[in-house]
Chain A
């Protein structure tokens, strides 16, 4: 009998070109390498210095997202870059992709978007793959049962040149999520709850596997939201075993296998789940039915609590500094805190269902006086689909700004940012000090919570805004 293996172990084992030894890491084969403008220039320079080609341009896919403006181009085609350096960085990627023969979804592509949104959309992200990108939220792709993680620029160079990485095998950590999420509570609330439970460094050295009935019930977009934030618990990657939801989502996408190859692929993908009796290095159980709309109150994603619960007292000097920075009072709930800016976007929550959830709250309502709301779709394809449904009209009628795709206020390096002291309710993934602009205060939340807060002018529970669901009761 073979030893039962976890999903992670199956994917790992299938990609070891050279097995790990005590004195040397494994040489791990990478199936898909995603590239963007910020973390790649120095890697391409290294290839040039060594006179090396890109080994597998066909396994490499590039996009422009981080430093790109989200305001449309002027009539003469010029774009409102923040600095000449940002523009030069974009041109550097365009030139590198042309020189090394890499498919780039640049300004002229109708598939351009945030790197972790377009990989799945194109069907490039598939179960059982190893996927890397010079970006920590590569963990998003684990929603498909891929082993996907962020790498540094030196490693980007390694993958470009060899399609391989030197890796030590991480440990495994099962997050069993039992029961079901209550109505009106989203995957974002769940993952914030998980990070608050295991801690912001709780996953360090591990690959998380999210499993259990509450996970199986999630849509692909929701699974991506969950895996996206695995890194915020310090984990290398998050994974969810592929199932019929996964296969149905992928079928027919441009880079997905077609015809007989599709059937063979699905047969293989069905084997990609943890065997009964497989052992994890760590395990934790979460009860989904207890999760309520959750927001962060501090300056890392682990400082999160249900918005109607009192903010916990600071456990140490660090936390008390974080509460001071956020101007948050322990013992008081976050609900009701006045809001200056609301951001709906980022690779965590910028897909069509995220925009629908925000629009459902905003329909027929207005963004409160004095609040600025920015809605930035994750990709051109999301933008088209949202506009086809008229969601952009719901946003603009409510007084929100509807932008072109990009990372935008998630990382605030393209000119979209908050002013010092402003409080931002954001659907992104990081609430570090200054992440959304120097001195800006970030509260992470779901798209529905963000929209409800925009309407109320203060942090608000979206469940009272849904017209239809029983959650309103």
Chain B
């Protein structure tokens, strides 16, 4: 994972609540054995019309949404399955951060492990962001705030460890493996007790 200290981009807004992982990447694309290449199918069933052309009504197809790296989404984003293909597809599509008032647990954990910033903001801030699509934001990972164009700030909470991992690109598998001795001792204790 590459370190991520800050992100500056305009926002694109998908106001729907409960956008589930089947929406983000439909199950029929899960037969891949790779992590890459899923971006072209992100939001597939909203994004394309039956003949395969772009659906002009889909928010992320609008010209002003092109190139936006910050997605402001409705409440309970990423609910549904545990498929890590969802954050993989978003990253491959060009999204680097998702902001919402509520983000599903497993999606959030998967996202952060892949350097996709999944950030929960308050209801009032969420409303403001939904009402201001295209606003230019700077997300400061170390400081834990989102900077608005008028210098206003929205503070957000991020688990200290998740923040540390993002800032330093920590290899979490390597981190667990540093505890190899404790894991071994734990297994021995359990096996003796059995």
Is the pair A27, B183 in contact by a Cβ cutoff of 8 Å? Answer: yes
B18 contacts partner chain A, Cβ-Cβ < 8 Å: yes
Q: Which of B98-106, B131-139, B144-152 contacts A (4 or more CB under 8 A)?
A: B98-106
* B122–chain A nearest beta-carbon distance, Å: 16
Which residue of the partner chain, among A25, A46, A158, A413, contacts B31 with CB atoms under 8 Å?
A: A413
Residues of A contacting B190 in the complex (Cβ-Cβ under 8 angstroms)? 29
- Contacts A17-B179, A50-B173 known; A24 to B161 CB distance under 8 Å? yes
Given A92-B33, A152-B106, are A430 and B80 neighbors across the interface (CB < 8 Å)? yes
A204/B179 contact (C-beta < 8 A), A23-B160, A151-B106, A153-B84 known = no
Asked if residues B176 and A438 are in contact (CB atoms below 8 Å), the reply is no
A42 at the interface (CB under 8 A from B): yes
Known: A412-B27, A430-B22. A22 touches B176 (CB 8 A): no
B45 touches A434 (CB 8 A): yes
Chain B CB within 8 A of A432 CB? yes
Residue A154 is within 8 A (CB to CB) of chain B in the complex = yes
Q: Number of A interface residues at 8 Å Cβ cutoff, please give it.
A: 65
Interface-side segment among A83-91, A357-365, A444-452: A83-91
Verify if A164 is at the interface (C-beta below 8 Å from B): yes
Which of B35, B45, B182 is A17 in contact with, Cβ under 8 Å? Answer: B182
Q: Is B9's CB within 8 Å of the partner chain A? A: no
Q: Which residues of A contact B30 (CB under 8 A)?
A: 38, 66-67, 413
> Are the C-beta atoms of B18 and A435 separated by less than 8 Å?
no
B186: Cβ under 8 A from any A Cβ = yes
CB-CB under 8 A from A24, the residues of chain B are 160-161
Check A39 against B84 for contact (C-beta < 8 Å). Answer: yes
Is A135 interfacial (CB-CB < 8 Å)?
A: yes
A205 within 8 A of B: yes
Is B164 at the interface (CB under 8 A from chain A)? Answer: yes
CB distance from A118 to the nearest CB of B (A): 18
Q: Which residues of B contact A432 (CB under 8 A)?
A: 20, 22-23, 80
Contacts of B41 in A (CB 8 A): none
Closest A residue, CB atoms, query B26: A434
**CB-based contact B33/A88 at 8 Å:** yes
A234 at the binding interface (Cβ < 8 Å): yes
A138 to B175 alpha-carbon distance, docked (Å):
25
Choose one: A136, A150, A168, A438; the contact of B159 (CB below 8 Å): A168
Q: Are B27 and A157 in contact (CB under 8 A)?
A: no
- Please state if B179 and A154 are interface contacts (CB–CB under 8 Å): no
Q: Chain B 150-190 against A: per-residue CB contact (8 Å), 1 yes, 0 no?
A: 00000000011100100000001101110110110011001
Residue A411 at the chain B interface, CB threshold 8 Å: yes
Smallest CB separation, A303 vs chain B (Å)? 10
Q: Which of A42, A168, A434 contacts B35 (CB 8 A)?
A: A42
Contact A22 B160 (CB under 8 A): yes
Which residues in A have their C-beta under 8 angstroms from that of B18? 200-201, 300, 318
**Residue of A83, A149, A154, A435 touching B84 (CB-CB under 8 A):** A154
Chain B, range 54-95, C-beta contacts under 8 Å to A: 74-76, 79-84, 87
Q: Please, how many angstroms separate the alpha-carbon atoms of A234 and B74 in the complex?
A: 15
Interface presence of A236 (CB below 8 A): yes
Cross-chain contact B183 with A164 (CB below 8 angstroms): yes
The complex places the Cα of A38 from the Cα of B23 at a distance, in Å, of 17
Partner of B106, one of A150, A163, A168: A150
CB-CB < 8 A to A300: which residues of B? 18, 20, 79
Instruction: Given A41-B33, A152-B110, answer yes or no on A166-B182 (Cβ-Cβ < 8 Å).
Output: no
Any B CB within 8 A of the CB of A316 = yes
The A-contacting residues of B in range 25-54, CB under 8 angstroms, are 26-28, 30-35, 45
Which residue of chain B is the closest to A133 with respect to CB atoms?
B82
In the bound complex, residues from chain A placing their C-beta under 8 Å from that of B160 are: 22-24
A166 vs B193: C-alpha distance in the bound complex, in angstroms? 24
Cβ 8 A contact of B102, one of A85, A201, A261, A412: A201
B106 A162 Cβ-Cβ under 8 A: no
Contact B76 A151 (CB under 8 A): no
Nearest-Cβ distance from residue A215 to partner chain B, whole angstroms? 23
Bound Cα distance A17, B83 (Å):
27
Decide: A318 near B82, CB < 8 A? Known: A17-B186, A432-B23: no
Q: Is the CB of A85 within 8 A of B76?
A: no
- Contact for B104 among A153, A164, A234, CB less than 8 A: A234
Q: How far is the CA of A71 from the CA of B72 in the complex (A)?
A: 43
Q: Mark A183-214, 1 if CB is under 8 A from B, else 0.
A: 00000000000000000110011000000000
**What residue in chain B is nearest A430 (Cβ atoms)?**
B80
Given the interface pairs A136-B81, A201-B75, the reply to whether A67 lies near B31 with Cβ below 8 Å is yes
CA A396 – CA B116 in complex, angstroms?
49
User: In the complex, how many angstroms separate the beta carbon of B102 from the nearest chain A beta carbon?
Assistant: 6
Q: Is A216 interfacial (CB-CB < 8 Å)?
A: no
Q: Taking the nearest CB of chain A, how far is it from the CB of B48, in angstroms?
A: 10
Asked whether B194 is an interface residue with its Cβ less than 8 Å from the other chain, the reply is yes
Question: Which residue on B lies nearest to A157, using beta carbons?
Answer: B173
* Cβ–Cβ contact B84 & A18, under 8 A: no
Cross-chain pairs A/B with CB under 8 angstroms, 28 sampled: A17-B186, A18-B179, A23-B160, A23-B161, A29-B186, A41-B33, A42-B35, A46-B173, A50-B173, A88-B33, A89-B32, A136-B81, A150-B106, A152-B109, A152-B110, A153-B84, A154-B172, A163-B183, A165-B176, A201-B75, A204-B102, A234-B76, A234-B104, A234-B105, A300-B79, A430-B20, A430-B80, A435-B27
Q: What 7 A-B pairs are tightest by C-beta distance, nearest first?
A: A152-B110, A150-B82, A41-B33, A152-B84, A201-B76, A153-B84, A136-B82
Q: Other than the known A41-B33, A50-B173, A85-B31, what 8 A-B pairs have Cβ atoms closer than 8 Å? A: A136-B80, A150-B82, A152-B109, A154-B172, A155-B110, A157-B173, A162-B177, A205-B105
